Amino acid sequence: MSLLLTGTDTGVGKTFVAVELLRLLREAGIRAVGMKPICCGDRADVRRLLAAGAEDITIEDLNPIWLPSPVAPSVAAQIEHIEIDIEKIQHRFTILSQRFEIVLVEGVGGWLVPIAPKFFVSDLAKRLNLPVAIVTENRLGCLNHVLLTCESIRNRGVSCAGIILNRADAAGDLAQTTNEGELRRLLPDTILIPIAENGVQTPAKWAQLLPRIRPTTLCS
C-alpha cells in the first residue's frame, strides 16, 4: 500500500509527517521511499525526503518536476514556459513502486491546488490510484478546512485513509484546545492521529494510519 499526503493548506506539516512515517517504516524493516512529484520553490522538503528514505535514490527520482517559482504549479509552469508532464510523474511513481514496498507521495499544497489546466492534486491521487491522508495544523479554521477536504476526497471516489492533526497539544487559544475533540465528534468513522508539538510520536499511533502495512510490527 502506498499513500498520498495532502494538506488543508501549505505549510501544515506534510513533509514532517512523511519523514516521520518513513523513519518508522524503515525501522520496521519495510523498504519505503518518499516522493514529491512536483516541487515549487526551493527543494528543501525534497532533500528531507531523500535523507529519510531508501538508499540509491537520487533527488530527480523523488522529484521529477521542479519549478523554481514559489507559486502553484499551474502558475509556475506559465511563468517558466513549460508544460507539466503528468505521464512523467506517473512513470516515475511506477518505477518507485516496483522497487519499494511503500511509496509515500507528498502532494503540493492542498487537495485542489491546480497542477495543469483542468488537472488538480485530486486528479493526481486518482491517476496514481492512491488513498489519501489529510494533514492539518491545529489552529483556528482547521475544522472547516478538514471537513471541506474530506468531503471533496470522498466525492471524487478516493479513499480517505485518515487525518493527521499537527500540534494537537498546543494550548495557545480556545480553538487549539477544542479542535481535536470536535473533529472526533464530526468525523467519528475517520481515523484521527494527533501529533504532539514536540514531534515525539509512537509507532502504535502511526500504525492506525497504515493498518495494512505490518501493523503488528509497527506496534511492537
CATH class belonging to 3-219: alpha beta
* Strand 114-116 versus strand 119-120 pairing type: antiparallel
CA separation for the pair 164, 168 (Å, rounded): 9
- Is 126 catalytic? The answer is no
Please list the pLDDT of the chain residue by residue as tens digits (220 residues): 689 999 998 888 899 889 988 888 888 888 899 999 999 999 999 999 999 987 789 999 999 999 999 999 999 999 999 999 999 999 999 999 999 988 999 999 899 999 999 999 999 999 999 999 999 988 888 999 999 999 999 999 999 999 998 876 777 788 888 888 899 999 998 888 888 765 556 666 666 666 544 333 444 3
Q: Where are the domains of the chain?
A: 3-219
Helix residue ranges per DSSP H, the chain: 14-27, 44-52, 59-62, 73-79, 86-99, 121-128, 142-155, 174-186, 203-207, 215-219
3-state secondary structure of 116: strand
Helix (H) or strand (E) holding 199: none
CA separation for the pair 34, 54 (Å, rounded): 8
Catalytic member of 36, 88, 126, 205: 36
pTM: 0.90
Residue 137, C-beta contacts closer than 8 angstroms, at least 6 positions apart? 8, 9, 11, 12, 13, 165, 166, 167
